[in-house]
Structure 1
Amino acid sequence: MKLHPRFIKILKAALLLSMLVLLWQYVKVIDPHQVQAALIKVGAGFGWVILSTTVAYGLGTLGWWYCLGDAKAAIPKTDLFMIRHVCETVGLFNPASFAGGDMLKIVLLRPYSVSQPTVLTSVVISRLLMILSQIFLLILTVLWFSLHDKLQIGAWLPYKAILSFLVICLLLLLIVYKIPGFDFGQSQRLARVKARLADIRSELVHFYRTYPKQLAFAFLLFTLHWVVGSLEFYIVLKLFGYDVTIVDGLLLDMGVIAVKAAGAFVPGQIGVEEFGNKIMLSLIGISSIPLWLSVSALRRTRQLFWILVGAVFYSFFIYKKRLYS
């Protein structure tokens, strides 16, 4: 995939404009008084939240690094960390969601001595592994809680909905790939989708056959990325005096991420994340409205901190002229 310089200019301008607008909307919904009260409550403990997310982002970077195959030696890990963080931030504040962020990854990696097909393959595979590891952990946590009778009966409803959605997706994939003679009719768009899905599948199979150990390491690192990231919930609830376990934090985080994925079309997940926080806290028996507001405020504050860090990283790449214009 070769991107024309003019297209890159347009992409940069569109991303910047959309991010500025959506970031302003994002900042407006944050209640500074609520944030101040929550920060006073947890004090220096908020540093542990930042530390856990830093480690989680580092693990996610290493997972992507392993997806680059033999080309990974051409990109310093620190640069890859900054590129990944910038692009994940763009995905958060972009109408195209993570697709816009993944496209930017391809652009930001152009100055490095890595072929475009390799970059594209690494982006696709890393995104798939992130999704699969997330689903894997969500299933494990739900099973663990259900076996220990820690979920309310009503809590099964959303997971039944998720399970039904996954079954439907599986059936659609079977139809597209396995049923002989499946007719796409006159729709060229569906045919292109099928062809692209076939390409992605072949890329994944090729990578698996060529780099099986690196694929396994990448999946493990992405799994650890989610686990360490979920410590944010555990740390925050502990700071507020609640007796929770690491598994509780994992269930909360995986559930909120699932809710955010369902509302991925909402830039910044404004309101969606708060809704997910409320649902998941109620599932483990925490229905305190003040706590919900404080947890949501702290998580938004953490996001705002990393948004500012992402802006610094992006400025670094502009300063170094590592972006084609």
Structure 2
Amino acid sequence: MKKRPHYIKIIKAVLLVSMLVLLWQYVKVIDPHQIRAALAKVGAGFGWVILSTIVAYALGTLGWLYCFKDSRASIPKIDLFMIRHVCETVGLFNPASFAGGDMLKIVLLKPYSVSQPTVVTSVIISRLLMIVSQICLLLLAVIWFSLQGKMNPGVWLPGTSIVVIAIICLSLGLIIYKLLAFNWHAEKYPKLSRIRAEFANVRSELIHFYRSSPKELALAFLFFTLHWVVGSLEFYIVLKLFGYDITILDGLLLDMGVIVVKAAGAFVPGQIGVEELGNKVMLSLVGISSIPLWLSVSALRRTRQLIWVLIGAIFYSFFIYKKRIYS
């Protein structure tokens, strides 16, 4: 048991070095000339992009806050904002994607007077609500544009893709069902038994949260939905600054589509190249095929992302300085 802290330090060091390497690779692919040209075109209007992301991150924090139910008063909102931002940033440069960031949330919340089961439940519920609210918004945007005759989902989502997605979802459902329903013998399958127990605990916590705190659940879902809507204003603002006449719903569809593309390439640290592909696909979907515009939009979005990565590093330094990690 005495050696365990030593191994934990080694793992932390390896993860830190790997993240720094991936971050360096991320910075290397950013073209400073393209960024300067794009910033020169939009000028001070880029401040509106930063403002929209601040509001979106704040709404996401409020959504997570309500997932703590009665324990939310134990965590200062500004601390929760910083923790969430640090961990979402870690998720960008982690091969485990958001799973690695969510695990870090549990670690960073240890010094606060909130029970471990409550913390774990809040992290899981917040992630599920973020995914569900995002899917709902994407479906609403697709349905709206389809009814308006502006797009044909069959063009970019053929029947084969639907079948593949359905098979993947069904397979995951069957795996989870087997883990929960099958009677694994602890002696023969200790690891599978532990996984089953964890799934059962999570399931019971989710059911308890749903039954005991429907108001908090509804408010969390509302704030996460607003988080996505406000975050999608980035596309709207950027394209408006470049002189394109688009609606807020256009921006919502663009942002939701890019997020889906990024989710598909979540295993790529920093989504290097994946986000640019998403930008190109979604811009062409709404009838914008200008290559210079695509490059400028991608450059501005990467610039915004890099700024918040640096802010995340400052937030993380704050927690280290205060010695609040692992205390």
- Could you tell me the TM-score, scaled by structure 1's length? 0.91
Counterpart of 1:323 in 2: which secondary structure?
coil
Counterpart CA distance in 2 for 1:147 and 1:78 is 42
Match status 1:19 vs 2:19: yes
CA contact (8 A) 2:69 2:216 kept: yes
Change beyond 3 A, Cα 1:99–1:179:
closer
SS in 2 for 1:230: helix
Range that drifts further, 49-58 or 200-209? 200-209
Amino acid at match of 1:120: V
Q: Greater shift after overlay, 42-51 or 189-198?
A: 189-198
Which residue of the other structure, out of 312, 315, 318, is the alignment partner of 1:316? 318
1:46 corresponds to: 46
Deviations 1:163-207 (A, max 9, x none): 751564156426753999769898776665554433322221111
Residue 146 of structure 1 corresponds to: 146
Aligned match of 2:89: 89
Give 1:25-104 correspondences, 5 Å limit: 25-104=25-104
* 1:120 equivalent in structure 2: 120
SS in 2 for 1:242: coil
Aligned to 1:202: 204
The answer on whether the counterparts of 1:176 and 1:182 sit within 8 Å (CA) in structure 2 is: no
Asked if the contact 2:67/2:126 (under 8 Å) is kept, the reply is yes
2:86/2:312 contact within 8 Å kept: yes
Which residues in structure 2 correspond to 1:160-199 (within 5 Å)?
A: 161=161, 164-166=164-166, 168-170=168-170, 172-173=172-173, 176-177=176-177, 193-199=195-201
Contact 1:108–1:322 (8 Å) recurs in 2: yes
Describe how 1:259-274 pairs up with structure 2 within 5 A.
259-274=261-276
**Pairwise CA RMSD:** 2.5
Residues 201-235 of structure 1: CA deviation (Å, up to 9, x unaligned) = 22211111111100110011101000000000000
CA contact (8 A) 1:90 1:100 kept: yes
* Matches of 1:57 and 1:261, distance apart in 2: 18
**1:218–1:5: structure 2 CA closer, same or farther, 3 Å change rule?**
farther
| Residue 159 to residue 260, structure 1, CA distance change in 2 (3 Å) | farther
- CA shift for structure 1 position 141: 0.6
Q: CA offsets, 1:2-32, max 9 Å, x none?
A: xx75565345323321210000000000000
Q: Aligned AA for 2:110?
A: R
Distance 1:40 1:312 in 2: 27
Q: Distance in 1 between matches of 2:234 and 2:75?
A: 29
In structure 2, the residue matched to 1:213 is 215
1:242 aligns with 2:244: yes
Gaps of 5+ in 1: none
Amino acid at match of 1:89: T
Q: Provide runs of 4+ in structure 1 moved above 4 Å.
A: 4-8, 178-195
Tell me how far apart the structure 2 counterparts of residues 181 and 61 of structure 1 sit (CA, whole Å).
Answer: 35
